[in-house]
Every structure is written in structure tokens, then in C-alpha cells.
Structure 1
Amino acid sequence: MVTFDKRRIVGAKLQGVILPNVIKQLNVKSRNVGKVSISRGGDKCAEVSGIDSDGNAWRHAVELDRKECTCREWQISGAPCIHAIAFICSLRGARLEDYVHDYYSLHRFKVAYAGVIRPMTDKSQWIKHDPGFTVHPPKTKRPPGRPRKERIHGCLENISKKRHQCKRCKQYGHQERTCKAPLPGDTEDASNSGPSTNKRKRTKKTRMASEG
């Protein structure tokens, strides 16, 4: 309610056809057009070409009467793209605000906040009703298995999975205790046996202590 009131006051002070903030952004774009080549097919269509910062050539077709550019930025945003701005600024007497969608118009801004939100009383003054029953929270049951610790990732997310490296052969996909890869200098029997699993021999003293 407070936001609507503030924007109604701001809208009453604004003048023009398009919102000043949108016009300011278009003017900044027009100063950063750079060096482009415009091949006119008339006053309503042209080919705008140039070279980007990487040295690659580009070319786009602009149609003013349909408010379209082949880069599709104009169709999506409703405001002229930098290619259309370059063509519009090359025309004598053309104004950028004439090619901006009505969505950014001052009239639409005033209409959007012309409605009134009715005030309401404090919660303590609300009328209390007895529905005749009590709503309890739902009974939840813990599902079987260990709960997930990691959220379900989207199909477009770039997830880097860390691969486990064996400390024995420095290869990926297994651990040291299950490694069976031969190492340089190992015999055939030793390579098949994997890592050493020899246990320490029990001495007579430790054997007597365990039996006792």
C-alpha cells in the first residue's frame, strides 16, 4: 500500500511518453555504439555490420516498422538493441522513444499504480469464527533409508565430480586396498596379489597372554 502511494506520487511528477530511466539507458547505449557500417534498404530497414572486440565480423538485419532485429534482443526486451539504435540515430529526425514498447510508457506506469489497496484493521479486531473442528498438523513418518545430504541438482547445472585416486598406482576409479594394478619392477605373482596384507607374527609372549 505504501509502495503504490509512493509511485503514484512519482508518476504524477513525471513528464513525457517513455519513463525517463529507460530513455537514459538508451542514450548511454547510443554513445557506446562504436564503429559500424549501415547499409540501408530504405527508411525502415537496414543491415548493420561491424567487428567485435575479438576481431569477428557480425551483421544483423533491422526492421523499424516491425520493431525487430535478427539478434532478437529488441523483440525480447521491448527496447531497441544497439544495432537498432545505430540505425535509428543515423536517420534524421528519428527519436528513440518512438521505437520503445508501450510497456515502458508513462501511461502504463500510472495505470499500474492507479488502484487503491483498502486499509485493514488490527488482527485483534478481526471477527472470530468457530468452524466446529480443529485442524492438526499432518502426521509425518520418516521414510526408510538414510536421508539425502545433497540436494537434487538440475539438468543444466555444471557439477564437477571429484574422482578418487589410488595412492598405490596413481590411477582413478578404485582405492588402495582394492588395487590390483601391476607396478614397475613387480613380478607377475606380486602384481596379482595386490597390496601387501601380511600380518605381524605373534610372539610366544603375546600368544600366552591371549590364551590366559
Structure 2
Amino acid sequence: MYPVAYGFIASETTVNWTWFMEQLKKAIGDPPLLAICSDACKGLENAVKNVFPNAEQRECFYHLARNFKKRFRGFIQIYPAARAYREEIFYDNLAKMLSESSEAVQWLQANHKLLWYRCGFNPDIKCDYITSNIAESFNNWIRSHKDLPVADLADKIREMIMVLWHKRKIIAYRLPEGMILPAIMVQLRANTRGLGHLKIVKCSNWSAEVWDHSSGVSVRHIVKLEQRTCTCQEWQHTGKPCQHVLAYVTRQRGIDLEQFVHDYYLVNRFRAAYGREIEPMTDKTQWPKVDLPFLVGAPLAKLPPGRLRKLRIKGWMEGGHKKKGSKDGKFTNEMEGEKGCDNDTAPTNAKGKKMIRGPMTCKRCGEKGHRQASSKCPLNGTAKKRKRRQPRKNVTIQPAEPSTPRRPTREEILRDSPGRVTRSMLATLLGEGTSSQVDTNSPVRMPTAAAPKKMTPKRKLHIG
């Protein structure tokens, strides 16, 4: 992150953005190789066209994809199309989108006319960023000081930038002059690993064919070290050797990898970027008094009610911030609350103000009207299942037919016997004896278990 200029405006309008771009032009001039990446703000887009007509206007792909997902679903080809360095890959993915829906491609061409794909970038600029997240990093950097007054906020940002420049200036003069930045070399050495899927076919000492078999289909690229070109176009756009160049260079002896990196990553450029000095300033009591020919009044714009926000408003894809003290640990979306409850019938709090609450949604089943721990959820195991009441039928109960007595088995006799069973007793019960001994007409009486005797503890004899 390299801060160049910052300003304070009331709202993002075309007039305010034009004023900011004019001040920026006074600071940096009008360089021939300049790329400005912005979001979908129309006022900023028009201001860049008016003040920097020769600059390359780029659009943040993150904001484009967020707007695209609101209208169309399932087009994953837009991501490889934006990241592709070659035009052939970009048009192939665009053709797949066109075959699925021509409306999506027409919407992109009509509403997003700026450059959001890498193959359309100027390779001489040596910057392949497709997002504008650097602005969000700066916003997060000054988040804890955004509630200060304007004069104090401007002075605090100046102090933070001054400290940042001083630290990086110390780092710059500790690095060896004329060398590539160590962070870039560490990154390139890490990229030299895992290149076994590339096959090198040498043509000369400075050019070769590189076959790529990683995707299942053999793709061939031409690498020319003298011209610093590769047909994958990544080396031309970034200024750092791609994987095809690294595979060719690392398999040769006596070749230094630093000579194939662009001068943009030299330590000398890093020193020149932080060579200037940000002048220190005194406090307000020592500032010179100036008699202005006009009266400085209060700003005309009205401030919104409530405390100013420190955190930026996140989009619908990112989710809200967590709030301390809330039951669910999340913010309640006001738009969802308006859908779930009418303003006229909304409940009121202790102060008499209307509270807008939306219908609660279960995290397990996804249904509305109950929470995750409620007994109404059918997935948490506590739901009360109501049995459907069966209608009573007029059924007459018939008396059971008398059945013949069944003889007990040997196991049943042994199990129900209260004590020792003799052979004669067992033969009598099972009917195995003679006819004179056993009467078949008399009912069989099973022995009953005797009641257990109550055991009394023995008393000890105490001899006095």
C-alpha cells in the first residue's frame, strides 16, 4: 500500500470526484502509463474520463461479480475469463456463457464497459490486479481514527503516513543496491517447486518449447528469454517469470534468475519511492493566523442521525458485522425486519418507540417461526409428535373359546420347581408313568413355591 493522496468530501458525486481528481493530477501529473481501477460508481467513472482521458480505466471485478450474481446464477465461466491472460481463453469462456444465456453477456457489455479482464490490460503497466481491495485496506488502516474532527483526522493520517514512510525508508537503505527485492525472489523460488509436469524441448540456449500436461490436454508454449516473452502472456503483464520460464531457466546452469525480473522490482525503485521526506508539523497553537477574505461557515449538508460509522457497510455476499451484547451475535437486517412486521402493528419498547423485528429463522431446518433450540424444530429431537386420533369403531368382543390344557415342559417344571424334583414326581407331572399310577382325567396340580423363611440375626452373648 502506497498512499498518494486523500481528501474529505460530503458525498460521492461527480463534482466532488472531479475536484479530487484535479488535485491528484496536480500531485502526480499526467504520466503516459497510468491505470485507475474503481468500483461501479458512475461519478468516479465520469471524473476519471474528464481529468485523465489518456489513463487506462479498470473496474473492480469483485464489485462486478457481486452485481452479476444479483441477476444471474450459475455462470462460473466469468471467473476464469477475468483471470485469463490470453484472449483465446477469455473468448472461449465468454462463448460458453453466451451458449447458456445471451442475456447475461449482453448485460455485461451494456453495463460494464470498462476493463475488468486481464487480457485487456496494457502489459507495459506491469500491474495485473483485477480488484480494488487496496482502498479497503486503507479504510481499515484508519478505522480507529475516523470519528475525529476533519482537521485532527487529516493530521492523524499525515502522521501515520510519515511513520510508514520512515520505516520503509530504513528498510530500503538496508537492502543491497542494484538487486531485486528479496520478497520477490522468495516468491519466485517458491514457484519453482512442483514443475515436474512441464516438459522442456530446447530450440537454442535462449528459446524453447514448454509442454504442459497438467490439465489432461497437452498445451505448448514458446519461451524466449532474450525478448522476455512467453505465449501464456503472464510474464509480459506482471514482469515476473511465469512457471514456463522458471521451468526452463532452473534446468540450465550458470543463469541467474534475477536478470529475468523487470526493473520495476529493483531496490533502486523502492528507494526512489520513499526518497522524499514528509515534513513534520506543529500543533494548532503554533499555526500562523491568516485573515481570509471570506467567512468559513458550517457545511450545508446535514449529517445523518446517530454516531458516524467506523466500519464500512458490507455487501450482501459478505454478511454483517458481529455485535456485542446481541443474543444471536449478529446484526438484524432492517430490510428483512420490514418484510416480517408491519410498521403499524410493530411492538413498542419501554420508551414507546416501534421496534421492527423480522421472523426468526431456524438454523437447522431453515424454516421461519422458531429458533434452533425450539421444540417446533423437527430436527433437534425435541419436537412433540401429535398422534392422530383414530375413530372408534363398533366392534363386538366375542368370548374366547376354551382351550385344552397344555402339559408343561421339562424346562418349565425345573424352572418353576421350589426345590428338589424326584423322578416319580416328574413322571407323574409329564404323564410318563403307568395308567394305574397317573389319572389322566384328574387335573394336574403344579407345586407351589414355599414362602421363604424369615432369618433373624444371631444375638451376640456379652459376658460381663
Give the distance between the partners of 1:6 and 1:42, measured in 2 at CA.
46
Q: In the TM superposition, what are the counterparts of 1:96-135 in structure 2 within 5 Å?
A: 96-131=257-292, 132-135=294-297
Residue 151 of structure 2 is aligned to residue 21 of structure 1: no
Using structure 1 for the length normalisation, give the TM-score: 0.60
3-state SS, counterpart of residue 254 of structure 2: coil
Given the superposition, is the C-alpha separation of residues 115 and 134 from structure 1 closer, same or farther in structure 2, using an over 3 Å criterion? closer
Q: Find the counterpart in structure 1 of residue 197 from structure 2.
A: 35
Q: Deviations over 1:77-105 (max 9, x none)?
A: 11100111111112221111110011111
Give the distance between the partners of 1:46 and 1:76, measured in 2 at CA.
20
Give the distance between the partners of 1:139 and 1:81, measured in 2 at CA.
52
Unaligned runs of 5+ in 2: 1-161, 303-314, 316-464
Q: Return the offset for 1:139.
A: 6.9
Q: Return the offset for 1:10.
A: 1.4
More divergent stretch after superposition (86-95 vs 130-139): 130-139
Given the superposition, is the C-alpha separation of residues 105 and 139 from structure 1 closer, same or farther in structure 2, using an over 3 Å criterion? closer
Unaligned runs of 5+ in 1: 141-150, 152-212
**AA paired with 1:82?**
Q
- The match for 2:231 among 32, 53, 70 is 70
**AA paired with 1:116?**
E
Q: Deviations over 1:141-181 (max 9, x none)?
A: xxxxxxxxxx9xxxxxxxxxxxxxxxxxxxxxxxxxxxxxx
Q: Return the offset for 1:138.
A: 4.1
Give the distance between the partners of 1:102 and 1:112, measured in 2 at CA.
13
Q: Deviations over 1:117-143 (max 9, x none)?
A: 111111332223332233453479xxx
Larger radius of gyration: 2
3-state SS, counterpart of residue 269 of structure 2: helix
**AA paired with 1:34?**
G
Q: Return the offset for 1:60.
A: 1.1
- The match for 2:250 among 81, 89, 97 is 89
Give the distance between the partners of 2:227 and 2:284, measured in 1 at CA.
53
Q: Deviations over 1:25-63 (max 9, x none)?
A: 1111112222311122212211111211x4122111111
Paired-residue identity, %: 41
3-state SS, counterpart of residue 192 of structure 2: helix
**AA paired with 2:201?**
S
Q: Return the offset for 1:106.
A: 1.2
Q: Deviations over 1:4-41 (max 9, x none)?
A: 21112112222361111111111111122223111222
Give the distance between the partners of 1:97 and 1:65, measured in 2 at CA.
14
Give the distance between the partners of 1:113 and 1:34, measured in 2 at CA.
40
Q: In the TM superposition, what are the counterparts of 1:1-212 in structure 2 within 5 Å?
A: 1-15=162-176, 17-52=179-214, 54-131=215-292, 132-138=294-300
More divergent stretch after superposition (22-31 vs 7-16): 7-16
**AA paired with 1:35?**
H
Give the distance between the partners of 1:74 and 1:18, measured in 2 at CA.
16
Give the distance between the partners of 1:104 and 1:110, measured in 2 at CA.
11
Using structure 2 for the length normalisation, give the TM-score: 0.29
Structure with larger RCO (C-alpha < 8 A, sep 6+): 1
How many residue pairs match? The answer is: 140
**AA paired with 1:30?**
T
